[in-house]
Structure 1
Amino acid sequence: MKRQVVLAITAVSLAVLLTACKERPRETSPAPAASAPLAAAPAADQWLGQWNGPEGTFLELKGGGGRYEVTIQNLDGPKTFPATASADGIGFERDGVKESLRATNGADTGMKWLADKKRCLTVRLGEGYCRD
């Protein structure tokens, strides 16, 4: 009987210790939605200006502080889109598709005309713009 009591006490003590050591979720207030673009803004602000692609295409980035305007000149003419800074670059919506503008090198654009460039912005593989 004495042994059973000791075992029961040991089992309860272990259960209490394991519960006390269990990681609890942190109680933090969620960050406001506007803080994410502002946190990424300093890096994206360095991209302001014109970036050139092949055959007269270009991307122009205006604005700053997390809010931007992306103008893309392709063979169909220029189109402008509102954009915001995000964790991975600058996000915008084009023709109902969410796009993300990110820093790459020429090879990562997937375009042979830009392969030797060092400072580029890529929307997707096969669509990139660089500065010499």
Structure 2
Amino acid sequence: MDTGLGDCRARENLDRIGDKWSLYLIALLAEGTKRFSRLKREAEGISQRMLTVTLRGLERDGIVTRTMYPVMPPRVEYALTDLGRDLLAAVTPFIAWCEAHVPEIEAAREEYDTRTEQEAAAFE
């Protein structure tokens, strides 16, 4: 099966959406336009710098738009573009799969961690 990932550009796109924060931010923007400060609150654990870097990358790739309002303090809002909404439609089943399988993945991780700890202890 040809995945298309041999193409350097396709891999670059996968790198963009497959990083730690991009899909999460895209899913948050599925609810509609949001201010930077709201995204910062809702994306628990993301630093301000990483939020900025990730949003800039998504903007550069045409997935989100950034609108800055000339007020004090500056107000900046982000929204999905048509391309971003198309991407969201493609990844929504993946996000749903991740949510549906949290218990199984957590159980597998616990089993793995226990097994590897026991194996490591056997060699001590």
Report if TM-score (shorter chain) is over 0.5.
no
Give 1 or 2 for the bigger CA radius of gyration.
Answer: 1
User: Going by fraction, where is strand more abundant, 1 or 2?
Assistant: 1
User: Going by fraction, where is helix more abundant, 1 or 2?
Assistant: 2
TM-score, normalised via structure 1 length: 0.21
